[in-house]
């Protein structure tokens, strides 16, 4: 199943909008993040891809807002 949305992350007194697309399944897989249900994931801030996972890490999160959004998505879908 594919889900799309926006997560607002508080940062420096304002909200940073993290747009995401996540593809997840009902059961975990060797292709999922940490063997979980998410097989594909993209997070963007201001139109720039800040995190990308496609059965493996293409771009790992580096900034705090992306790391926070990733943690939320893992809790929700993985």
| Host domain of residue 15 | 2-77
pLDDT reported for residue 73 = 98
Single pTM value for the model: 0.95
- Torsions phi, psi of 35, nearest 5? 75, 15
pLDDT (tens, 9 = 90+) of the chain, 78 residues, equals 999 999 999 999 999 999 999 999 999 999 999 999 999 999 999 999 999 999 999 999 999 999 999 999 999 999
- Torsions phi, psi of 76, nearest 5? -80, -40
Domain total in the chain = 1
- Distance between CA atoms of residues 21 and 43, nearest Å: 7
């Amino acid at each position: 199943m594919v889900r799309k949305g926006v997560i607002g992350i508080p940062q420096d007194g304002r909200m940073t909008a993290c747009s995401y697309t996540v593809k997840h399944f009902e059961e975990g897989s060797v292709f999922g993040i940490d063997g979980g249900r998410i097989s594909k994931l993209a997070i963007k801030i201001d139109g720039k891809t800040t995190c990308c996972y496609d059965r493996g890490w293409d771009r790992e999160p580096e900034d705090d807002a992306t790391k926070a959004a990733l943690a939320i998505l893992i809790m929700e879908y993985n």
